[in-house]
């Protein structure tokens, strides 16, 4: 299984009249690519684009993913009710929907799962009350759980001696001067005044190696060993991304 960056970021507000045809052509030339990240955002950044436009573009992208038989990775911020209604109307999605960095309610999990959704958890889950996070995880079918870092976002709220930081992260420069923090490979050697990620500047970059922190936290809430959860999430990812090319259909 090979991961590749495809085309970078497309902003809804900057789309051209031919954007959908261009996207179709890109999938024809790169049949191994999945769809996404696409989605809905009612957060501060999402408010820059009218929600009606977000809905229109999102539904067209979902239609394309379903037609091509490809999984779609979905970004959703404060719009899970809207998302569920859309998936119920357009679904199910046999190829899979990845609910990236899932932060929706526990009650919605069974409804999303019926439609073909997978639930991917990142360091953002650690910002949620542990009891609430545990209730969500209890509802997720084991064969539908995925893990991610969402790097460079979603730095896990862990002890710093367990985290990897990004070398050259500009948000740490001032703290480096003040506290003598080294970001060459890890945060293993730190002054006593800085002991967890909450002491780092907002926007500190996340490192892909911090997937271990996500794994450890989720496994603890699920009362599983890290080895078992790692194997389950790996097999789920292999199954999800082992789709056949249908771009010529």
Provide the annotated binding site for a divalent metal cation.
Answer: 37, 75, 100, 150
CA-to-CA dists, residue 110 to 32, 94, 115, angstroms: 29, 16, 9
Is residue 62 within 8 A of residue 72, CB to CB? The reply is yes
- Verify cis geometry, omega within 30 degrees of 0, for the bond prior to 37: yes
Q: How many residues does the chain have?
A: 249
CA-to-CA dists, residue 161 to 149, 183, 216, angstroms: 17, 12, 14
- Alpha carbons within 13 A on the beta-carbon side of 207: 20
The distance between the two most distant Cα atoms of the chain, rounded to a whole number of Å, is: 61
Annotated binding site: 37, 75, 100, 150
Among residues 196, 204, 79, the alpha carbon closest in space to that of 151 is found at 204
Is residue 95 within 8 A of residue 243, CB to CB? The reply is yes
Buried b (16+ CB within 10 A) or exposed e, 161-186: ebbbbbeebeebeebeeeeebebeeb
């Amino acid at each position: 299984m090979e991961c590749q960056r495809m085309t970078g970021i497309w902003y809804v507000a900057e789309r051209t009249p031919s954007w959908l045809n261009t996207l179709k052509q890109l999938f024809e030339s790169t049949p191994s690519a999945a769809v996404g990240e696409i989605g809905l955002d009612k957060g501060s950044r999402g408010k820059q684009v009218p929600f009606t436009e977000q809905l229109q573009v999102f539904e067209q992208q979902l239609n394309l993913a379903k037609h091509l038989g490809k999984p779609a990775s979905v970004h959703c911020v404060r719009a899970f009710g809207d998302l569920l209604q859309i998936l119920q109307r357009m679904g199910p999605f046999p190829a899979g929907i990845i609910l990236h960095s899932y932060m929706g309610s526990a009650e919605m999990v069974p409804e999303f799962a019926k439609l073909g959704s997978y639930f991917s958890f990142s360091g953002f889950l650690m910002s949620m009350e542990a009891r609430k996070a545990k209730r969500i995880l209890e509802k997720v079918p084991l064969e539908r759980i995925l893990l991610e870092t969402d790097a460079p976002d979603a730095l896990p709220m862990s002890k710093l001696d367990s985290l990897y930081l990004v070398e050259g992260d500009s948000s740490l420069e001032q703290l480096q001067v003040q506290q003598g923090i080294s970001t060459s490979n890890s945060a293993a050697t730190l002054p006593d005044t800085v002991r967890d990620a909450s002491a780092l500047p907002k926007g500190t970059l996340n490192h892909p190696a911090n997937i271990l922190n996500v794994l450890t936290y989720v496994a603890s809430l699920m009362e599983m060993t890290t080895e078992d959860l790692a194997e389950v999430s790996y097999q789920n990812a292999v199954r999800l991304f082992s789709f056949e090319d249908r771009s010529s259909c």
